[in-house]
Structure 1
Amino acid sequence: MENMVTQVRTSVEDRIGTVLLDGPDRMNAISVETTDQLLLALEELGNSPDVGVIVITGSGRAFSAGGDVKVMHDMTSMTYENYLHIMQPTQRLPGLIRSLPRVVIAQLNGVAAGAGLAIAAACDMRIAGASARFTTAFGKVGFSGDCGISWTLTRLVGTAKAREMMLLGEMLGAEEALKLGLINKLVADDALEADTRAIAARIANGPVVAYQYMKANLLAAETEPLQAVVNLEAMHQTRAFMTDDHREAIAAFAEKRAPCFAGR
């Protein structure tokens, strides 16, 4: 994905697709161009048969510092309609991350602020280094929040804490983020990449089709009534029943060995 200004880079190794936010000089700030590139990268990797899991991370000392304030300054004269139009990619991003047929892991290597925090919150899992820090930051630039932050943050930390984080915009350290349930795992900075890849490899080499439908079930469970989720589970379980991976798992159990999943 080589553009004149490439702010998002992708790679695939051992069935792990990596999406790198690559603007370290601006702490991987999110612009309209970055969002467009991120959408394309996620769609490409999320639908590739060679990818079993996706990891999003940032280059340098930040995951992402959020929206690019310099670009915001250049946009202050826009009309309501024009600004709403350029928000469309941002509106798509959290839904895409959550609905992709692949598990998406945020590897949090530094500050995650504003839209950066929103992207991380939309991922299926979040693994942070000890120096990672988190803030909503929207109020500091006179914004009310975007990229699904109100929805995802509320579900991760609860209504009271989400309101506090949005209204006060205070910086949270990694230890507090772990206690709140904002992140899933906290590791030493120098172990972040290795530990994230170990978890990613476990998923990438697992029953990927089953994980796809497991993810869809969990997403539905956040908004749908019980019976709708039960019905969805039944359909998805039937699909998983038909996979080679299910048959392999049953054979491995009978033969008292570890299963060797093929992702189909």
Structure 2
Amino acid sequence: MGSRNTGTPDLLSTLDQGILTLTLNRPEARNAMSDPMLEAMDRELAFAEGSNEVRCVVLQGSGRAFCAGGDVKAMGENPITPSKLDDRVEYQCAIQRATSGRLVAIAKPTMAIIHGPAAGAGFALALACDLRVMARPAFLLTAFASVALSGDFGIGYLLTRLVGTARAREMMFLPERISSDRALDMGLTNWVYEAEDLPKQAAVIARRLASAPPQALGYMKEHLNRALSSEFGPYMDREVRCHIDCSQTADHLEGVRAFAEKRAPLFSGH
């Protein structure tokens, strides 16, 4: 396992067998976001986007929480002054696109491992991932209304697409803890495991993602994202082009051979 220098202790990064694991690392603050954490995440996701070594991205938290979202204590101690509003808006627009936005758009599968509470913008980061796996004691919470904020990091957009407009409004207007079992029922998480089983089971899923054919999965993710906004005809036209492109890869040939030989395929990423 290779550790990467993120430039800050607030975010840890390791690359192991194609799995880039990003760990939010402010356990004393329940991994509340900081500018250095988000800027490091921007750099690491940019690396993942451009590196053939990275086959999937995993996002997790250290300590007892996944992520508490914005640092409410810091908001009280260092409020945004009127003279700095425009600069802060510009900064946050850029950093949200580079984090939540890139998790959604990157042509590689992403997964959030939620072992503890995911609240506010931390919940949004988890929703921006393609897949989510939760420990049974963990919970999800929008939280924004409790501190008179409207929400950021794409929370309303992502919630609406996952649970529908009526349920998203309920969750945003009237924040309540969503247990892991209820999250599973609502489609907010893909799997729930007992806390002691979560690391092992999440590792199994991550290895499956990292061993899958990367070009095919990248196109699959593109199609799934386009399905939310594209008309059916143009969607299918693009689908055909990508499908035929995949048929020209060494991975496709390997998959065909493995099928004929009744063995598991070994995809090289070519």
- Give the alignment's TM-score, normalised by structure 2: 0.93
- The offset of 1:86, in angstroms, is 2.5
Aligned partner of 2:80 among 73, 76, 79: 76
| TM-aligned CA distance change 1:231 to 1:159, over 3 Å | same
In 1, Cα distance between equivalents of 2:75 and 2:260 = 60
Report the more deviating stretch, 153-162 or 76-85: 76-85
2:65 counterpart letter in structure 1: A
In 1, Cα distance between equivalents of 2:46 and 2:225 = 18
Counting aligned pairs with the same residue, the percent is 36
Report the more deviating stretch, 76-85 or 245-254: 76-85
Post-superposition CA distance 1:41-91 (Å, at most 9, x none):
112123221121111000001110010112222123244313312312124
Q: In the alignment, what sits opposite 2:70?
A: 67
Q: Is the 2:141–2:178 Cα contact (8 Å) retained in structure 1?
A: yes
In 1, Cα distance between equivalents of 2:80 and 2:207 = 44
Matches within 5 A, 1:186-201: 186-201=192-207
In 2, Cα distance between equivalents of 1:131 and 1:71 = 27
Matching of residue 6 in structure 1 with residue 9 in structure 2: yes
Which runs of structure 1 show a deviation greater than 3 angstroms over 4 or more consecutive aligned residues? none
Matching of residue 249 in structure 1 with residue 255 in structure 2: yes
Structure 1 residue runs of 5 or longer lacking an equivalent are none
In 2, Cα distance between equivalents of 1:45 and 1:7 = 18
- Give the alignment's TM-score, normalised by structure 1: 0.96
Aligned partner of 1:133 among 139, 157, 173: 139
Q: Secondary structure at the match of 1:64?
A: coil
Q: Secondary structure at the match of 1:6?
A: coil
Q: In the alignment, what sits opposite 1:220?
A: 226
- The offset of 1:95, in angstroms, is 1.8
| TM-aligned CA distance change 1:235 to 1:161, over 3 Å | same
| TM-aligned CA distance change 1:199 to 1:36, over 3 Å | same
In 2, Cα distance between equivalents of 1:49 and 1:91 = 22
Matching of residue 54 in structure 1 with residue 57 in structure 2: yes
- The offset of 1:2, in angstroms, is 4.2
In 2, Cα distance between equivalents of 1:26 and 1:171 = 19
What is the aligned-residue RMSD (CA, Å)?
1.3
Structure 2 residue runs of 5 or longer lacking an equivalent are none
Q: Secondary structure at the match of 1:62?
A: coil
Aligned partner of 1:32 among 32, 35, 46: 35
Q: Is the 1:31–1:71 Cα contact (8 Å) retained in structure 2?
A: no
Number of residue pairs the alignment of both structures matches: 263
